[in-house]
Structure formats: C-alpha cells, structure tokens
Amino acid sequence: MNYDKTERLNIVLNIFKKLKNYKLKNGNTLNLYNENLCSFIKEFKKITNEYIYQQDNIKEYKGELYFEEIGKKIEYILPIKKNKESLFVIRI
C-alpha cells in the first residue's frame, strides 16, 4: 500500500520541522531550513514538491544532497510504500 498525498506531505513537513529546529551540541537550535544559510534547501524544496504532488507512476525519491557549508553529504529517502520509513541524515 502506498502513501497518499496527505501522508507524503506529513513526511516532508516532519523533515522540515527538524531542519528548522536543528539541535546543536551546545543545546541551542539552528534553522537549517534557511536558504541563505544552507545551499541545499532550494534543491530539496524542489525535490519534496515533486514527491508530494506526483499523481501517476508514483515513485520513491532517494539520493544525496551536498551540504556545501560544512562539506558533508545528506542522504535522503522519501518513501512511497507504507512499510518503509523516510530518511534524512547528514553523513559524517
């Protein structure tokens, strides 16, 4: 069984909330969802829009984004099947 459009939107919103409230080691939070702070956000917004609004031949979105500001890769999986979890991690 596949996620419907509302469920895909909720998956994306959950990731965005975590990006907006990214916890630092010192206990503070940082808004990583800021396009002026993180270069990958513009591309990720495009990807998530495509993921949410697909209608025919629905597919899983997965890949890597480069977090240029810290020189790390972000791995993401935006699943379509309900038995699979989403993934959004910064690889060290």
What per-residue confidence (pLDDT) applies to 12?
A: 98
Share of the chain above pLDDT 70, in %: 100
Q: How far apart are CA 20 and CA 13, in angstroms?
A: 10
Share of the chain above pLDDT 90, in %: 90
Residue the block writes with tokens 């630092």: 24
Burial 68-85, CB ≥16 within 10 A → b, else e: eeeeeebebebbbeeeee
11 HSE (CA, 13 A, CB side): 27
Assign 56 a pLDDT band (cuts: 50, 70, 90): confident
pLDDT tens for 17-44 read: 999 999 888 999 999 999 999 999 999 9
Mapped onto helix, strand or coil, the DSSP state of residue 88 is strand
